[in-house]
Amino acid sequence: MSKDDARGSISRRDFVRAGATAGLGTTALAGLAGCEAGEAWDLTADVVIAGAGTSGLSAAIEARDSGASVIIVEENYDCGGHGIVSGGRVNLGGGTSRQRRHGIEDSADKVFEYWIRHDNLEARFTDRDLTRVYADLSAETFEWMIENGVVFQDEAIGPDFRNGRTVQWPVYEELITSHPTRLGSGLVRALEKSARTKGADILLLHRMVELVQDPDTRRVTGLVANSEGRTVRVGARRGVILATGGHTSNVAFRRMFDPRLTEEYQTAGEPYTSQNADGELAAMRLGAALWGTASQSMAAGNWISKTEHIGCRWGYSSLWWQPDSPIFDKVRASGLTEVDWQNVILVKQTGVRFHDETASGHDFFAACLSYSGDPDKKNGGGPIWAIFDTDAVRRQGWEPTPPNVDPDGYFFSADTLAELAGVIRNSHQTLRMSGQTLEETVARYNSFVDSGVDEDFGKPTPRYKIQTPPFYAAWSTPILHDSLCGLRVDTRCRVIDLEERVIEGLYAAGEAMGGFPQHGLGRCALFGRVAGRDAARSV
């Protein structure tokens, strides 16, 4: 088979997969014919983007609007990344049409001043040069999203209508989650539709594994992707944009910032999407610097959260997976939800309580992540189990059977507490829970219910004894979320190396980028636009 044949077979199959919304674009065809001399590219485009999430799609639209051809490589079988399973939270202000409609006077300067506040831990660690870019483009990006088909709810999260949510995508079969609504679909599908309509080509099931750098000029000239075992080399005439979505799924990477974050902690968005640090690692191999790392380890913000749905592996807050989700085979269980923490106690893998269960701040998480008692695994806090009885099940109105719970390692029941301790099996449970310890823990807690005072952890008026069989243990280990630091970039989103030099031809945006640790999708779209525009205009 000739080289041209190989290229043709790759592109046809992938483009058919990718073309559901808007058919084939022009870029790939140009790429097939435009392989540059001296480079063994399978495909080429002006701008090549790794990742078809919010920042990648925004970069693609902006690059196409600037006249550049675009190829996106996406490792997943569908677009969206973290954004499509998110709550569609978008933080953009500075004088948007929505703000004006609600009589809010805002400006870029006000946005800037907010996001550099020293008394706000989330803003304290921002790179103020990047913050200025965010402030100046904030309102413009909001209107740009509307122009590209995104529909916003006319409600605000918090003051000043800076923070709001998108409207769920109306095509049911194009949602990843089903109920309750995952509003990020309205953002991502709209951007995807716009990007495809404007001619961006999206190669699904293509995972970037390496960047290609000219050894003489150090300019990044393309990337290498792996598609189901095949290597695909994609050349970028003007630039490569890393929009790979952060690092919190990568245990080795995340532990650079916090050694406690060992493998037992899941990441929100999984199992649909994994934040595996592909972009950061590829760029770091070329000498790229990380930036804003204080944000990732600060005791504030959205990098960790309490399990909202217990007894299942994937219990991130508003991601309440239901059996009609297209990926429920991976999710396996929805979880027992709307937990009133008076109905349960939380214990470590050894069966001991460690904190007031009704709390959820960073003191709570510090206790969750505290030493689990395993001398062979000193870091990480180990699994956290919610222990409750059949009375709690009745009060909560739960049905503790599949698909609500996952008995394959994340939910257990037994007729006595000692027996319950003995049946807990999970790959992250490195110690056997002692039945005697769990009995003693519960007996002591029950006495606090009698006295009305939690002498150990100050839970406000412990309300219910855990006494009536059967007894239950439900996985309730905290969940990681945002990547709040990433690659160092300049105000044009060009990646900077450890010598503070620009790595020509390489850009980063979204959660792969450091310096602006905002929760939500506003920063992803905004800096994606900056990267896409600059790369398209790069010569």
Could you list the residues that contact other proteins (CB under 8 A)? 86-87, 89, 120-122, 157-158, 165, 299-302, 305, 308, 316-318, 338, 340, 342, 360-362, 389, 395-397, 415-419, 435, 439-440, 443, 446-447, 450-452, 461, 463, 465, 467-471, 519
274's CB contacts (< 8 A; 6+ apart) are 249, 267
Question: C-beta of 155: minimal distance to other proteins in Å?
Answer: 11
Helices 184-197 and 128-147, packing angle to 10 deg: 80
Question: C-beta of 154: minimal distance to other proteins in Å?
Answer: 16
The structure tokens listed for 536 are 């398209």
Cis amide linkage into residue 215, ω under 30° from 0 = no
Question: C-beta of 445: minimal distance to other proteins in Å?
Answer: 10
Assess contact for 503 and 287: CB atoms under 8 A: yes
Question: C-beta of 372: minimal distance to other proteins in Å?
Answer: 23
- 299 or 498, CB closer to other proteins? 299
- 171 or 423, CB closer to other proteins? 423
The structure tokens listed for 282 are 């590829």
- 89 or 260, CB closer to other proteins? 89
- 204 or 484, CB closer to other proteins? 484
- 121 or 146, CB closer to other proteins? 121
Question: C-beta of 333: minimal distance to other proteins in Å?
Answer: 18
Question: C-beta of 204: minimal distance to other proteins in Å?
Answer: 27
Query: Tokens 């002692």 label which residue?
Result: 434
E strand residue ranges, 375-478: 385-389, 411-414, 471-475
Exposed/middle/buried for residue 394 (C-beta within 10 Å: 0-12, 13-18, 19+): exposed
Assess contact for 86 and 184: CB atoms under 8 A: yes
| DSSP symbol at 289 | P
Question: C-beta of 125: minimal distance to other proteins in Å?
Answer: 12
Query: Tokens 């008394």 label which residue?
Result: 119
Query: Tokens 């600059």 label which residue?
Result: 534
Question: C-beta of 508: minimal distance to other proteins in Å?
Answer: 25
129's CB contacts (< 8 A; 6+ apart) are 490, 491
Question: C-beta of 480: minimal distance to other proteins in Å?
Answer: 13
Query: Tokens 């099996």 label which residue?
Result: 425
- 30 or 116, CB closer to other proteins? 116
- 103 or 397, CB closer to other proteins? 397
Helix (H) and strand (E) counts in the chain: 18, 19
Question: C-beta of 105: minimal distance to other proteins in Å?
Answer: 24
485's CB contacts (< 8 A; 6+ apart) are 257, 290, 291, 292, 293, 294, 295, 296, 514, 515, 517
Q: Are strands 502-508 and 230-242 parallel, antiparallel or unpaired?
A: parallel
- 306 or 533, CB closer to other proteins? 306
- 66 or 358, CB closer to other proteins? 358
Ordered DSSP codes for 134-200? HHHHHHHHHHHHHHTT--B-S--SSGGG-EEEBPPPS-GGG-S--SS--THHHHHHHHHHHHHHTT-
- 52 or 449, CB closer to other proteins? 449
